[in-house]
Amino acid sequence: MSVSSLTDTRWRSNFRRRLRAWYKRQARDLPWRRSREPYQVWISEIMLQQTQVSTVRPYFQRFIRSFPNIASLAAADEQDVLRHWEGLGYYRRARQLHRAAQQVVAEFGGQLPREPDRLRTLPGIGPYTAGAILSIAFDAREPILEANTTRLLARLLAYRGDVGSAAGQRTLWALAAALLPRKDVGRFNQALMELGSLVCKPRAPACNACPVRTWCGSAAHGLQDQIPKAARKTAYEEIREAAVIIRRRGRVLLRRCGPDERWSGLWDFPRVPLSAGDPAALAGELTRKVHRLTGVIAAEHRHLKTIKHGVTRFRITLECFEAAYVENAASQPHISPQKWLWPKQLPSYPLNSTGRKLAGLVAGHPPPAGQAARGQRTNPRRRAYAP
């Protein structure tokens, strides 16, 4: 199959027929396929950005139950929306989705617009998502291009260039557009993705089970393992950080991540970068950095565990500590909100994944009785100051 054969009408209709027949038999029963309501299509497409189907499945159901329509999402608390996103990653999606719902209410009368240009003005909706919503929900004749179809179409074309380059994107979008049927466009687009996901897989594609192998340039030459060309360079950076559970009379200190840091909008235990100094200086470094971050002085650090995790281009070794509150000695007001929370309150705050793990430790290990008593002496109970 080559770009020049795009003008061959008969070829394209045969391709579409084979693909649809396959999809009719093999389509998975996914929650978001049970409704073509624009709102539900929208939610699913945002959740599915860079996120696998199996991961999204339970999130979608809970989200729709809690926010059944655009108006209820627009009226919700951002924290509540984030809580439904907890664990899904790319939390900017949730904040943008929330803002977009408010924009739809304010500017579009509460209905998703059917015009591509207006749909694209909503935060979080780019070329793919707009095409997906318009074709699936409104049966508009709009192409899509994402991970599955990029691989599928590149293999069909035996495209040897970089599929991520501007030229590669132009070529593949053009093919996606040229293949579109006149009607039932959404089902066709989903069939392309499904084929890419179930058959035309990244490794060991099941070419023998492929309904469109006849037209595949890669299968014809045995190139399916080399196309698309892998252009990924990981280049991780190893860093060390520390997170501290600071206990104060039964409660623990949480802070909300600011707009310019990771996990913006989510809550986390106080977390600081750790220099690779000698272990003896660790306690002092922790006390100093946590104080600078939170205004709170904590001591008697006890190491709990080490968690390794990755985010974007960092491999993080996270040293988790427990510490006792000494005093609040903030030299300046802190922009990011922070709160002392009872362990039972933690589940109602949106946390990042390591924060969630530490929250589990808090619940499982209540503070020793002696520590609470010591905290009480150094910090006698008093009335809260009126603001």
Partner DNA sequence: AAAGCGGGGCC
Partner DNA sequence: GGCCCAGCTTT
Residues forming contacts to DNA in the complex (CB under 7 A) are 30, 32-33, 44-45, 48-55, 87-92, 96, 123-130, 132, 146-148, 151, 165-166, 190, 193-194, 196-197, 202-203, 230, 232, 234, 236, 261-264, 308-313, 315, 352-354
Find residue 246's DSSP bridge partners.
323
Pairing between strand 237-248 and 267-268?
unpaired
Minimum CB separation of residue 33 from DNA in Å reads 6
Question: Is there a catalytic annotation at residue 45?
Answer: yes
Active-site choice (37, 45, 78, 237): 45
Minimum CB separation of residue 6 from DNA in Å reads 23
Cβ atoms of 179 and 3 closer than 8 Å? no
Minimum CB separation of residue 249 from DNA in Å reads 29
- For residues 272 and 301, what is the distance between their CA atoms, to the nearest angstrom? 14
Minimum CB separation of residue 351 from DNA in Å reads 8
Q: Which is nearer to DNA, 303 or 315 (CB)?
A: 315
Amino acid at 289: K
- For residues 110 and 127, what is the distance between their CA atoms, to the nearest angstrom? 22
Pairing between strand 237-248 and 314-328?
parallel
Q: What is the CA radius of gyration of the chain?
A: 26
Place of tokens 């500590």: 321
Q: Which is nearer to DNA, 66 or 264 (CB)?
A: 264
Minimum CB separation of residue 327 from DNA in Å reads 31
Q: Which is nearer to DNA, 165 or 348 (CB)?
A: 165
List of residues 6+ apart from 14 with CB closer than 8 A: none
What is the dihedral sign for C-alpha 341, 346, 349, 351?
Answer: positive
Minimum CB separation of residue 202 from DNA in Å reads 4
- Residue positions counted in the chain: 387
Rounded alpha-carbon distances, angstroms, from residue 322 to 220, 237, 373: 60, 26, 16
HEC assignment per residue over 85-111: HCCCCCCHHHHHHHHHHHHHHHHCCCC
Got the DSSP string for 371-384?
HHHHHHHHS---PP
Q: Which is nearer to DNA, 45 or 319 (CB)?
A: 45
- For residues 146 and 164, what is the distance between their CA atoms, to the nearest angstrom? 11
Q: Which is nearer to DNA, 35 or 52 (CB)?
A: 52
Q: Which is nearer to DNA, 147 or 177 (CB)?
A: 147
- Catalytic residue list: 45
